[in-house]
């Protein structure tokens, strides 16, 4: 049965909630209107006529973007487009540092593999997915039946169409919804500000407020001449936008309505105290230790060589982002007493079970959950090290893991030379991309440091055999081992790799491939032991029971990279006693942080000159200042990067790009008093395009609301 597409929202906690943009639990639009929204439900989300929904895309593999012109011009965050900018950069044309501005459509740069996806259809398929599923099934049997049913439904809905069909679980598997997306594969880079604007503050300012960052990047979506999705072709034409967002010059003030549509990635706000304890004691510290080690080596080599800086800028940013995230999350989970809050909620649930005689259905929930987490804590740290310091640690080690299928074919007696050649040919573009941005000396130091850490921190009984033996032999020093491996392996030398592709032979004796294989096999063995105790049934029942216990509460689902709407307002923040942060920052604050020659806080000379002359034009506020960033009470998480901040009339007023340090526990527990979304002001966007870049070709495309 199709879902009725009306948007109804909750009055439950003012600004908490990543709501699916249609009715599931009877939320009510009146709350949004009370906060100032002037739009109808159909203007926000409709399949019958153009709506805000049609301007919002999934950008790449983990961000959001929005259309801002009739010709498919697309806005997202600088850090979302950084990989594409880096791929087009070189020492001679360092677009990372100086920025990139296409003066016309012929100068826009294609990006192989980059896609954007538009949501085109939704249907609640819970009943169909659960056909044949019984309470007597084991979790594995249940999952297999659900997967079988889901695959059948996906095939039926896809048919012969070029669309992506996903069936996504909600509420820990108590509901299933089908999503259909139109996927566009010709997305071209149009503009990117210089590093000193788009990356201003870098690691130091990340996840904090106040911020002073012009975190934007501009692309364009192209289609076949008939308007359908198509791979890159010189014959493709700019998309004719079904809907796009006008950009407001009115600015923001405290209390102004703010709405965000986007694709938040993952939250777990209905999880148990066991999950919280795991993040604090196991997962968080393990990821922090591994990524700190990796980043130290990246920074050493990037600071020493501009060519390495270009190659590793996107990689460093990716590793750094969630390194600092976990530092903040662990700290704020403790500060905000999230474990204690979850424990109290679980006590209330157990009291409800006992009072209402629900023991038959829910009585063993916490026994199962406790058993699961007591079992998991034996393996979590080791599994994370296998991933972070092992097969996703050094680049050569990670890349080698992608050759397992080819190696299996080579070792097989049944695979023909032609079949093997096809597999190798399919990898050639990946090989080219890998070596384009690879630095052997950097990877050597990263690999040595991570293997040293792996051996030192993980119990010998849970180490991969090679790491255990080498570490024992060399007293935990992997320098000689890695140096020898790098001297022989094809995965660190493009010429050796080229020779191998011309005459592929078994990789079993390649030292990097052997190490990768050993780490992966060890990981799979540990993971199998960890999964011997499964907690998904108990978590599903707990979620079901919570919703039954709190019948009057509107339960929004956890984020899972499906379209969500959040609403709130522009507000300041008071995160601690005697501490108050203003709701906005200005270009004056950029210059207060300015450090000539510093990779995090240097700024372009053109921006300095505009600031010195106060040459802000119509983008200045009523005080003559240029607002750079502002904060709202919206509820977002990773994946919302690049999401539009929309005013009461449906105009773009900003671009969401981060959360604040005091609410880093937000993925597990929304902190109503301190949680803020950090946004780039739309006027700063226009100022950079117009005044600094003088990109009048882009200005002429935009619809600007005075």
pLDDT in the model for residue 2: 41
Assess whether pLDDT exceeds 80 at residue 24.
Answer: no
630: left (phi over 0), alpha (psi -120 to 50) or beta: beta
Contact status, residue 568 vs residue 258, Cβ threshold 8 Å: yes
Q: How far is CA 649 from CA 32, 38, 246, 652, in A?
A: 12, 6, 10, 9
Helices 536-549 and 338-355 meet at what angle, rounded to 10? Answer: 70
What proportion of the chain, given as a percentage, has pLDDT over 90?
92
pLDDT in the model for residue 23: 64
Q: Which pLDDT band, with edges at 50, 70 and 90, does 27 fall under? A: low
pLDDT in the model for residue 327: 96
Contact status, residue 631 vs residue 677, Cβ threshold 8 Å: yes
Q: Which pLDDT band, with edges at 50, 70 and 90, does 5 fall under? A: very low
Q: How far is CA 136 from the centre of its chain?
A: 37
Assess whether pLDDT exceeds 90 at residue 9.
Answer: no
- Give tens-digit pLDDT for 407-431: 999 999 889 999 999 999 999 999 9
535 CB-near residues (< 8 Å, 6+ apart): 368, 369, 371, 372, 373, 376
pLDDT in the model for residue 11: 33
Tokens of 137: 């099934």
Assess whether pLDDT exceeds 80 at residue 164.
Answer: yes
- Give tens-digit pLDDT for 629-664: 999 999 999 999 999 999 999 999 999 999 999 999
- Give tens-digit pLDDT for 61-104: 899 999 999 999 999 999 999 999 999 999 999 999 999 999 99
Helices 494-502 and 417-436 meet at what angle, rounded to 10? Answer: 170
pLDDT in the model for residue 25: 45
The alpha carbon dihedral of 130, 133, 134, 135 has a sign of negative
Assess whether pLDDT exceeds 50 at residue 14.
Answer: no
What is the rounded average pLDDT of the residues 610-633? 97
List of E strands, 470-592: 564-569, 573-576, 579-581, 584-586
Assess whether pLDDT exceeds 80 at residue 219.
Answer: yes
What is the rounded average pLDDT of the residues 594-617? 97
pLDDT in the model for residue 523: 98
Give the residue among 521, 530, 527 at the shortest CA–CA distance from 401: 521
Q: Is 389 exposed, middle or buried (0-12, 13-18, 19+ CB in 10 A)?
A: buried
Q: How far is CA 440 from the centre of its chain?
A: 28
Average pLDDT over the chain reads 94
Q: Measure the CA–CA gap between 279 and 333, rounded to whole angstroms.
A: 9
**Annotated catalytic sites, by residue?**
79, 215, 641
pLDDT in the model for residue 258: 97
What is the rounded average pLDDT of the residues 515-521? 98
176: Cα within 13 Å, side-chain hemisphere: 19
What is the rounded average pLDDT of the residues 593-601? 97
pLDDT in the model for residue 511: 98
Tokens of 411: 């070792």
Q: How far is CA 300 from the centre of its chain?
A: 26
CB atoms within 10 A of CB 453: 21
pLDDT in the model for residue 413: 81
pLDDT in the model for residue 539: 95
Q: Measure the CA–CA gap between 657 and 464, rounded to whole angstroms.
A: 39
Terminal Cα distance for the chain, rounded: 44
SS3 of residue 116 by DSSP? strand
* pTM of this structure: 0.93
Q: Measure the CA–CA gap between 192 and 78, rounded to whole angstroms.
A: 7
Higher pLDDT pick, 1 / 609: 609
Domain segments of the chain: what residues? 48-244, 273-530
pLDDT in the model for residue 28: 66
Q: Which pLDDT band, with edges at 50, 70 and 90, does 29 fall under? A: confident
């Amino acid at each position: 049965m199709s879902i009725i597409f009306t948007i109804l929202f909750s009055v439950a906690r003012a600004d908490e909630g990543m709501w699916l943009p249609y009715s599931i639990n009877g939320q009510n639009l009146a709350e949004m209107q009370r906060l100032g929204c002037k739009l109808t439900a159909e203007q926000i989300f409709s399949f019958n006529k153009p709506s805000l929904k049609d301007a919002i895309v999934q950008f790449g593999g983990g961000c959001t973007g929005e259309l801002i012109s009739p010709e498919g011009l697309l806005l997202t965050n600088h850090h979302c487009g950084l990989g594409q900018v880096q791929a087009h950069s070189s020492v001679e044309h360092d677009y990372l540092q100086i920025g990139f501005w296409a003066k016309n459509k012929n100068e826009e740069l294609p990006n192989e593999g980059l896609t954007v996806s538009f949501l085109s259809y939704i249907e609640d398929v819970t009943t169909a997915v659960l056909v044949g599923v019984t309470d007597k099934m084991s979790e594995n049997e249940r999952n297999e039946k659900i997967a079988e049913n889901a695959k059948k439904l996906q095939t039926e809905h896809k048919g012969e169409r070029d669309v992506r069909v996903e069936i996504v679980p909600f509420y820990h598997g108590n509901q299933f919804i089908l999503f259909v997306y139109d996927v566009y594969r010709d997305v071209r880079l149009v503009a990117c500000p210089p590093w000193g604007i788009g990356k201003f503050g870098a690691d130091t300012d990340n996840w904090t407020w106040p911020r002073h960052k012009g975190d934007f990047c501009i692309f364009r979506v192209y289609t076949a001449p008939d308007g359908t999705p198509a791979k890159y072709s010189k014959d493709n034409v700019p998309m004719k936008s079904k809907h796009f967002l006008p950009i407001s010059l009115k600015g923001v003030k405290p209390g102004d309505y703010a709405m965000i549509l986007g694709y938040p990635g993952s939250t777990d706000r209905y999880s148990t105290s066991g999950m919280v304890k795991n993040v604090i004691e196991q997962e968080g510290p393990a990821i922090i230790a591994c990524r700190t080690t990796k980043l130290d080596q990246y920074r050493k080599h990037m600071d020493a060589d501009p060519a390495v800086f270009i190659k590793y800028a996107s990689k460093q940013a990716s590793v750094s982002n969630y390194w600092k995230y976990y530092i903040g999350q662990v700290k704020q989970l403790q500060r905000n007493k999230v474990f204690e809050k979850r424990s109290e909620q679980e006590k209330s649930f157990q009291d409800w079970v006992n009072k209402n005689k629900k023991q038959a259905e829910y009585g063993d929930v916490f026994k199962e959950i406790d058993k699961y987490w007591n079992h998991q804590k034996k393996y979590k740290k080791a599994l994370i090290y296998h991933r972070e310091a092992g097969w996703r640690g050094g680049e050569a080690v990670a890349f080698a893991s992608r050759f397992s299928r080819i190696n299996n074919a080579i070792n097989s007696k049944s695979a023909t030379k032609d079949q093997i050649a096809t597999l190798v040919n399919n990898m050639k573009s990946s090989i080219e991309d890998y070596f384009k941005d690879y630095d052997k000396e950097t990877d050597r130091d990263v690999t040595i440091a991570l293997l040293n850490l792996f051996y030192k921190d993980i119990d010998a009984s849970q180490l991969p055999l090679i790491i255990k033996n080498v570490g024992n032999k060399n007293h935990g020093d992997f320098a000689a081992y890695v140096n020898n491996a790098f001297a022989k392996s094809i995965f660190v030398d493009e010429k050796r790799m080229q020779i191998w592709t011309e005459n592929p032979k078994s990789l079993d004796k390649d030292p990097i491939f052997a190490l990768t294989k050993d780490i992966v096999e060890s990981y799979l063995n540990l993971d199998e032991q960890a999964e011997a105790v499964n907690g998904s049934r108990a978590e599903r029942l707990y979620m079901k029971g919570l919703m039954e216990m709190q019948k009057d509460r509107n339960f929004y689902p956890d984020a899972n990279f499906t379209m969500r709407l959040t609403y709130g307002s522009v507000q300041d923040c008071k995160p601690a006693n005697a501490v108050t942060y203003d709701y906005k920052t200005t270009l004056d604050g950029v210059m207060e942080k300015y450090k000539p020659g510093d990779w995090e806080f240097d700024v372009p000379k053109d921006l300095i000159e505009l600031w010195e002359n106060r040459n802000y034009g119509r983008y200045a506020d009523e005080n003559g200042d240029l607002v750079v960033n502002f904060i709202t009470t919206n509820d977002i998480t990773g994946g919302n990067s690049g999401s539009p901040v929309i005013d009461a009339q449906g105009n773009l007023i900003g671009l969401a790009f981060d959360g604040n340090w005091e609410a880093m526990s937000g993925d597990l527990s929304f902190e109503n008093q301190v949680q803020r979304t950090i946004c780039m002001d739309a006027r700063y966007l226009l100022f950079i395009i117009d005044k600094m870049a003088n990109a009048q070709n882009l200005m002429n495309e935009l619809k600007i609301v005075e």
